[in-house]
Structure 1
Amino acid sequence: MNKTNENISDLRLASLLPDTLLGNVLRPISPLLDKILGIDKLHQLYVKGDLWGLEKQEFSERLLNQLGVQIVGGAGVISKIPKEGRCIVVCNHPYGMVEGVIIAKILTAYRADTKIMANLGLRVFKEIEDYFIFANPLKPKAPINTSAIKQCFKHVDNEGLLVVFPAGRVSFFQPEKQRITDAEWNRIAIQIAVRKKAPILPVFISGTNSKLFHKMGQIYYRFRLLMLAREMVKLQQHQINLVANNLIKPEQLNAFSGIKSMNEFVRLQCYLNDETYLTPWVEDDEVTEFKDIIPMSDQGLMTKELAELPEEQQLVKFKSFTVYYGYQHQIPTCVQEITRLREITFRELNEGSGEACDTDHFDATYMHLFIFDHQNEEIIGAYRIGQTDLLQKDADVSKLYLSQMFNFKPEFINQNQPCLEMGRSFIVAEHQNSFHGLLLLWKGIGAYVCKNPKYRTLYGTVSLSKLYDPRSVALIDEVVVTKREGVEAKAPFKGSLHPEAQDFLRENTVNLEQLSALVEGIEADGKDIPVLLKQYYKLGANFHCTGIDINFNHTPGLLLSVDLPNAPDKLLKLYLGKDREAYLSYIPVTIQDAGFSGN
């Protein structure tokens, strides 16, 4: 234990009062104020714990032990921070003092080059002054703030780890929001991150100060500062959770235009870490016992079936790959292989049925559009497509798979136009990152509609795997779903979002790139929104509602429709090719024997 008389804290109000008229007036009654403000109890804790003159890390450890504060999640925060190199950590400010000590202790133990931009109030502890770069948030134009900002820029420029509490002051009750939350965040952390190209990690710190603290703050805001010591000593046996998701990289920040928008994005990512608003996925009543996958279908039989298909059912050729469509009665071996590959692929996404293959009675009535690799004699991806004019009779939607997930009202169903219901799409794992996988499927769809131009509208769902965090699905639902009339999910998705997220989405129009940045910030593995969602979004899809597919491992799915002739011309050229003009100039013939379309 190393002690020095140079770093001993004088925990009395008298020692903190400035040599001014007000200071001289308060000094005689300062012992009484020490009792009222809890400073005397903080002094007792300081003496009892033998904290005087300790080295900063030991001081912090003992102080937190004396307070009885239990810290949960510190290792999770550290795991997100690079061991070296410039990095910025931003945190909310729920208590005013103790969180600065906690963050300083944890991060300094991991990286000795940690500096925390902190309120002057923490100068009360001389032993830990070395942790901090002090600023005065109550006086923005104070000279100390200019110096602090310069020090922060220099520290990051020197490849250091910088911690900032951007609110500058403790969280407080805000009547307009009807909740306790941070004030508007200062933009200094974002300005440094952008200028120095530093990654930034938002950390959420749980909890809040007492009701009395917030009541007094409503009477006069400076009472909050006076009560900080009192609040600190009241933290006996209090658990404080630290939660961080992903390090935000400069390219994610760049999805937002301007420092203000970037700052709001990072603040939102901080509050999205608040697990109070996390509604976990409902566990299945019974644990699924996965059956062994059926053997691979006979490759020779598959090749024979494809050779016997009419030439018109061969849609696209690229190198060794060919896109075909067919029906189960034409290609039973190929369809069996498709069901096998679907189950394998869907299990990887926590969407598998658990059966030996993924099949149901719809396979017999739906068209199967798929990619066959002749070189390896294998199927690499497929879509299951329902032709509504063939499936619906007398306005009956029960023959459509989507009717299992959604209740369609009469105004949502157009009985005069045939459409295509798109579903059960997959690309095998080996080709999911390839250029040709999804592109070939969509070129196949384009070739099919050009041969059958009566199909103008595509319907389907985008599965949002339960491997996604429920908060990501809730964000996707809030951002992309814009049209709910005429249809409702039989089992609606019921996700919740933090009030800060609700405010953000109400005040900002979020585009797909920004939605990606939000989701990547939440997901533990940093995954983006589904590729298929992006595909439909670029086609100009309307997203109608989000439901839970109880027949598909309770997977959430977005119901959507695409008016194909009105899709962006760039994509129509890509998918429809030379037949685009003929498709666009086709005049649909009104029919009366049932169809399925959205208005």
Structure 2
Amino acid sequence: MEQMIGGALAELCGQTVSGGKTLLGPGFKSLFLRHVLPLKRLNHIFSRFSSLPGWTAVPDRVLQALGATYHVLASDQAKVPSQGPLVVVANHPFGAIEGMVLASILLKAREDTKIMANFLLGALGIGEANDMMIFVDPFGGHGSVKRNLKPLRDAIKWVGAGGALGIFPAGEVSHMHLRRFGVIDRQWSPTVARIIRKTGATVLPVYFEGHNSPLFHGLGLLHPMLRTLMLPGENLKKKPREVRAHIGKPIPFKRLAGLDDSAIMDYLRLRTYNLQNRKRERRVKLLRRSANSTAKHLPVVRAEETSLVAAEIRRLPTEQLLLSSKNYDVLSASAAQIPNALHEIGRLREITFRQANEGTGNPIDIDGFDQYYRHVILWDREQDEIVGAYRLGLADTIMKERGLSGLYTSTLFEYKDELFHKMGPALELGRSFVRPEYQKTYQPLMLLWSGIGRFVISNPQYRFLFGAVSINNGYLGISRKLIVDFLKEGHTHSDLARFVRARNAPRGRSLGKKNLGLAYSMVHEIQDFSELISDIEQDATGVPILLKHYMKLGGKFLGFSVDHKFNDALDALVLVDLARSDPRILERYMGCEGVTSFLQFSETNGSNGIGPAGDGRSELRNDKCA
């Protein structure tokens, strides 16, 4: 290998540019010898540690000799599948050391691990460690295709038999790209997609923080071979050094099966580089959490007497019972009917919202809007306690009596009258919660939504639902910006959004398509986008469940506003046209006959100037319910 590098150096020093001058003079040769000389030490390290018994320990031994350690969260390490065909893709910032880190990470989860590596690494004399390597020629020169046929077959055979294979799809170290003004991998090889496709492997994205020295990247702009010459020195210096690795969620093959090879690699690159967003705001989040921990929250009020709350719930008229399921009842009530129960709802709201990095900070979450809004309550008959609740505002009635300022969302957004002229009757939804003890399953939330569905069946004029969906302050700032940009790009109601203005618009510029890279072109469904957010958030939190729910109903967004009175939650104003929602989803909350009657009413009573309602789907529903 030293002869190979020496020859390359001689070739570079002999190259000429315009005017007959050499590309690199004698001074450069001396400079590079200082960086290439560490090759002997690197060779010695690999030879020494790879010859010891137990090849699976080689990566850790080499890292120790290099004075290097790595950091990976335990929750990330746990994401490595312990069995089954697996391809691990990673960025390539350093050129060698990250290969040892990747091998160490994978070997801690499973011994059937191999790393696809540059054939030059084999020239270092790594002995028994050859067993964990599949060597390829990534340079694409004359004869490289033929030389790579056997390694490709070996890789497919290994993964197809259930093994794990770590790959750096760029094939060469990350380097400076002037157009993007950053250090990133070159285009990823579609050959990796062939391995994935032929084996049906799960894919695991891994992102390594960091990059090589400015000298490395600066000289690499003169000639790519200069980067290769400097790699030994780059991987031996800066002791001690810690490499930080971030691991995303495993991606099942079925998510990739419908894409061509190029699209597969674009998507995997997106999922990998998306993980760098953790790095960018790690310190910001720690500072914000520290500030939040010192924020003064007043003690929450004591619980209401159970017997008083239960008596109010039992006194509600039968017609206000929306549905019953096992030990649960869902009921509708006014504030005047449930003074004690409403007090308990306010107490439970504050407890629940504080645990979600929201909340008013007051002893109880009750405001003036509660006095004239309707309340949908989920009641546990066996435990005699409130499980959760929603607040409903009949917008047409409220505006007739109190004007636009009578709507809670008017505290967050300024409305023009044209918005409601176009919509007609609408329900404002908000202040939804399920108390923490009942959050282990989705059933309570499903029952609350079913209660709202039954309310709409009885009041079918309320075709439109709208309200503020909170994106709490526990999310990284980058996650909140990504969510807003995603919703603005393809999920805004362009016709109606012009009638809405945020009172406290989010600060900071939009990330925009350029910085989001392939996010817009590769990710369209909210569940796929939620996976991106989940990869960034170290507690694996995806997009808020309510936001996903409304989007599945066809929700569109009208604006975004920060609620400083609710722990700086970012509120997304969503609008759902139930007459345009997927009937199969509506059926979960309305039942088959309920959906049919609602769609028939919507078709008969027109579109309110926004769009056609129903498209004759009620007839299809009739056939299905028969």
TM-score (norm 2): 0.78
Could you tell me which residue of structure 1 aligns to residue 137 of structure 2? 136
- In structure 1, how many angstroms separate the alpha carbons of the residues matched to 2:406 and 2:257? 43
Task: Report if aligned partners of 2:409, 2:467 keep a CA contact under 8 Å in 1.
Answer: yes
Task: Report if aligned partners of 1:412, 1:487 keep a CA contact under 8 Å in 2.
Answer: no
Is the counterpart of residue 313 in structure 1 residue 313 in structure 2? Answer: no
- In structure 2, how many angstroms separate the alpha carbons of the residues matched to 1:521 and 1:260? 22
Could you tell me which residue of structure 2 aligns to residue 127 of structure 1? 126
Could you tell me which residue of structure 1 aligns to residue 518 of structure 2? 504
How do 1:105-254 and structure 2 match up within 5 A? 107-108=106-107, 112-127=111-126, 130=130, 131-139=132-140, 141-233=144-236, 235-237=237-239, 239-250=241-252, 253-254=255-256
Task: Report if aligned partners of 2:309, 2:341 keep a CA contact under 8 Å in 1.
Answer: yes
Is the counterpart of residue 460 in structure 1 residue 470 in structure 2? Answer: no
Alpha-carbon spacing, 1:560–1:145, altered in 2? closer, same or farther (3 Å): same
Could you tell me which residue of structure 1 aligns to residue 613 of structure 2? none
Could you tell me which residue of structure 1 aligns to residue 32 of structure 2? 36
- In structure 1, how many angstroms separate the alpha carbons of the residues matched to 2:295 and 2:80? 37
Count, aligned residues: 573
How do 1:49-128 and structure 2 match up within 5 A? 53-55=48-50, 69=68, 71-73=70-72, 78-82=77-81, 86-104=85-103, 107-108=106-107, 112-127=111-126
**Any idea what SS the aligned residue of 1:350 has?**
coil
Could you tell me which residue of structure 2 aligns to residue 6 of structure 1? none
Q: Return the offset for 1:503.
A: 1.1
**Any idea what SS the aligned residue of 1:166 has?**
coil
Q: Return the offset for 1:182.
A: 0.8
**Any idea what SS the aligned residue of 2:102 has?**
helix
Task: Report if aligned partners of 2:49, 2:62 keep a CA contact under 8 Å in 1.
Answer: no
Q: Return the offset for 1:135.
A: 0.4
Could you tell me which residue of structure 2 aligns to residue 262 of structure 1? 264
* 1:448-488 residue CA offsets vs partner (Å, 9 max, x unmatched): 33444443322112222344444443333222234354322
Task: Report if aligned partners of 2:156, 2:198 keep a CA contact under 8 Å in 1.
Answer: no
Work out which of the residue numbers 559, 568, 579 in structure 1 matches 2:597.
579
Alpha-carbon spacing, 1:79–1:378, altered in 2? closer, same or farther (3 Å): closer
Q: Structure 2: which amino acid aligns with 1:12? A: E
Could you tell me which residue of structure 2 aligns to residue 567 of structure 1? 581
Alpha-carbon spacing, 1:35–1:532, altered in 2? closer, same or farther (3 Å): closer
Q: Return the offset for 1:323.
A: 2.6
How do 1:520-559 and structure 2 match up within 5 A? 520-559=534-573
Task: Report if aligned partners of 1:255, 1:513 keep a CA contact under 8 Å in 2.
Answer: no
Q: Structure 2: which amino acid aligns with 1:93? A: H
Q: Structure 1: which amino acid aligns with 2:86? A: C
Task: Report if aligned partners of 2:379, 2:386 keep a CA contact under 8 Å in 1.
Answer: yes
Could you tell me which residue of structure 1 aligns to residue 386 of structure 2? 379
Work out which of the residue numbers 502, 508, 511 in structure 2 matches 1:488.
502
| Greater relative CO (CA pairs within 8 A, separation 6+) | 1
Could you tell me which residue of structure 2 aligns to residue 8 of structure 1? none
- In structure 2, how many angstroms separate the alpha carbons of the residues matched to 1:147 and 1:30? 41
- In structure 2, how many angstroms separate the alpha carbons of the residues matched to 1:13 and 1:589? 79
Unaligned runs of 5+ in 1: 1-10, 591-599
RMSD: 4.1
- In structure 2, how many angstroms separate the alpha carbons of the residues matched to 1:164 and 1:147? 16
- In structure 2, how many angstroms separate the alpha carbons of the residues matched to 1:72 and 1:147? 34
- In structure 2, how many angstroms separate the alpha carbons of the residues matched to 1:60 and 1:379? 56
Work out which of the residue numbers 329, 332, 347 in structure 2 matches 1:340.
347
Alpha-carbon spacing, 1:565–1:62, altered in 2? closer, same or farther (3 Å): closer
Task: Report if aligned partners of 1:193, 1:250 keep a CA contact under 8 Å in 2.
Answer: no
